[in-house]
């Protein structure tokens, strides 16, 4: 049996206040679009609207949630077109990377995914013929992985700061030569070093075998897609919840500069307050701001799917003082878009679920899930990624 060494873990990624105020600027200028608008966009437009919020406008990554670079030279030269399309279409369940294909309940047709993949391709070299790998030995790979890789990439059960190599959708999409190339050549300009020279070719094969052995369960079946007819308000006859929202921290004050103090924006309500409101059958609206594919895996009971890329159902949200809580995976980026759009419409009692749905699920709070969906892995936190706003 494989033994997992103890890691010092902390659930820090979604902690309140982890998201700096500036990250709200990451919201696309106009998130208020439906399927028709998406269909009219080219690859760059689709990317800007759906992906830039996490992967950055130039796709070099680390705008939010430690989303990796999608245009690194060694990534583009080793990832196949099929791998790119699958990564976008299937997502990485349990992380903030949603499944974007219509087949998985996301917003993008195969053509649209192809357009984004082609746009990404335009940023770097075409795929090269990768050297074949020899069969490695997972048992010999384990101590190498633990010593050299785990602090960034985490364990089978815990995601680190870097791409979670144990994610079954990652392992489905990535070939052994792709893994070996990433390890040998690294990702220039990021925290991922080139390991050739430090590790022998045989040791790289052993690490590849160990990573491959993370295996993972097959794809889960999904809940039926949202119909767009789900009721908006939970407990319509209930009393209003008594939320005490947290505000975005003010920037360090410079009293002598005569600047006005910042106004509290009451933007964040904690998972504990929202759980209590549900238990007490309070009247409220909960919006799942992620692509519907994520709602189809797991959502808070009564949460209505209004994804950040199609806000048409926002028109149905009552503007009568009813509290509206929006959530996304972690931390606040997609839900922040929705709250901004609500406030623009004059809905003042709109706030973000502070720690997000992953933390809600991790804590064992009530959820509706597709069969077999487990709470997401813990997040371990070792280092700050390059360009990370933290």
Q: Give dist(CA 134, CA 252) in Å, integer.
A: 56
Q: Which is nearer to ligand HEC, 68 or 292 (CB)?
A: 68
Which residues fall within 8 angstroms of residue 117, CB to CB, at 6 or more apart? Answer: 43, 81, 84, 85, 88
- Residue 158 touching ligand HEC (CB under 6 A): no
- Residue 175 touching ligand HEC (CB under 6 A): no
Per CB under 6 A, which region of 16-24, 95-103, 227-235, 350-358 contacts ligand HEC?
95-103
Q: How far is the CB of 70 from ligand HEC (least distance, A)?
A: 5
Return the residues of window 36-75 that contact ligand HEC according to CB under 6 A: 50-51, 53-55, 61, 64-70, 72, 75
- Residue 166 touching ligand HEC (CB under 6 A): no
Q: Which is nearer to ligand HEC, 84 or 277 (CB)?
A: 84
Angle, in degrees to the nearest 10, between helices 110-121 and 43-50: 100
What is the separation of C-alpha 233 from the centre of its chain, rounded to a whole number of angstroms? Answer: 26
- Residue 248 touching ligand HEC (CB under 6 A): no
Q: Give dist(CA 180, CA 78) in Å, integer.
A: 10
> Which of 14, 99, 149, 303 lies at the binding interface for ligand HEC (CB under 6 A)?
149
Return the residues of window 299-338 that contact ligand HEC according to CB under 6 A: 329, 333-334
Which residues fall within 8 angstroms of residue 351, CB to CB, at 6 or more apart? Answer: 243, 245, 266, 267, 268, 269, 323, 324, 325, 326, 339
Q: Is 201 exposed, middle or buried (0-12, 13-18, 19+ CB in 10 A)?
A: middle
- Residue 85 touching ligand HEC (CB under 6 A): no
Q: Give dist(CA 153, CA 208) in Å, integer.
A: 13
Q: How far is the CB of 373 from ligand HEC (least distance, A)?
A: 17
Q: Give dist(CA 210, CA 195) in Å, integer.
A: 16
Per CB under 6 A, which region of 13-21, 143-151, 245-253, 312-320 contacts ligand HEC?
143-151
Q: How far is the CB of 259 from ligand HEC (least distance, A)?
A: 33
* Of the candidates 152, 146, 143, 227, the residue with the CA atom closest to the CA atom of residue 193: 152
The binding site for ligand HEC (CB under 6 A) comprises 50-51, 53-55, 61, 64-70, 72, 75, 84, 87-88, 92, 95-97, 100, 116, 148-149, 151-153, 159, 162-165, 167, 170, 179, 182-183, 187, 190-192, 195, 207, 329, 333-334, 383, 385
């Amino acid at each position: 049996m494989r033994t997992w060494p103890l890691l010092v873990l902390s659930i820090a990624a979604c902690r309140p206040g982890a998201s700096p105020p500036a990250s709200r600027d990451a919201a696309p200028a106009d998130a208020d679009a439906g399927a028709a608008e998406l269909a009219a966009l080219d690859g760059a437009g689709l990317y800007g609207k759906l992906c830039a919020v996490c992967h950055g406008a130039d796709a070099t990554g680390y705008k939010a949630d430690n989303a990796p670079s999608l245009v690194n030279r060694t990534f583009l030269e080793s990832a196949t077109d099929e791998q790119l399309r699958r990564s976008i279409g299937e997502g990485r369940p349990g992380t903030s990377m949603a499944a974007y294909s219509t087949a998985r309940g996301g917003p993008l047709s195969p053509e649209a995914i192809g357009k984004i993949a082609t746009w990404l391709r335009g940023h770097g070299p075409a795929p090269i013929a990768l050297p074949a790998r020899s069969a490695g030995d997972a048992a010999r790979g384990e101590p190498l992985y633990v010593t050299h890789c785990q602090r960034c990439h985490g364990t089978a059960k815990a995601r680190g700061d870097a791409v979670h190599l144990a994610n079954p959708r990652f392992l489905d999409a990535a070939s052994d030569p792709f893994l070996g190339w990433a390890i040998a050549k690294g990702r220039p300009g990021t925290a991922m070093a080139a390991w050739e020279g430090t590790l022998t070719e045989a040791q790289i094969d052993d690490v590849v075998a160990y990573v491959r052995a993370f295996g993972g369960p097959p794809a889960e079946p999904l809940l039926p897609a949202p119909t767009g007819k789900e009721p908006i308000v939970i407990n319509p006859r209930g009393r209003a919840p008594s939320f005490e929202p947290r505000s975005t921290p003010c920037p360090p004050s410079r009293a002598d500069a005569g600047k006005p103090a910042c106004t509290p924006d009451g933007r964040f309500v904690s998972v504990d307050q929202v759980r209590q409101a549900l238990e007490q059958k309070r009247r409220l609206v909960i919006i799942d701001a992620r692509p519907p594919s994520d709602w189809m895996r797991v959502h808070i009971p009564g949460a209505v799917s209004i994804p950040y890329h199609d806000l048409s159902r926002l028109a149905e949200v009552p503007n009568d003082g009813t509290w509206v809580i929006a959530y996304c995976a972690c931390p606040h980026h997609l839900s922040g878009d929705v709250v901004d759009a609500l406030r623009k419409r004059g809905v003042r009692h709109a706030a973000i679920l502070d720690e997000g749905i992953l933390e809600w699920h991790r804590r064992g709070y009530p959820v509706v899930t597709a069969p077999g969906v487990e709470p997401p892995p813990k997040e371990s936190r070792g280092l700050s990624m390059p360009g990370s706003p933290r």
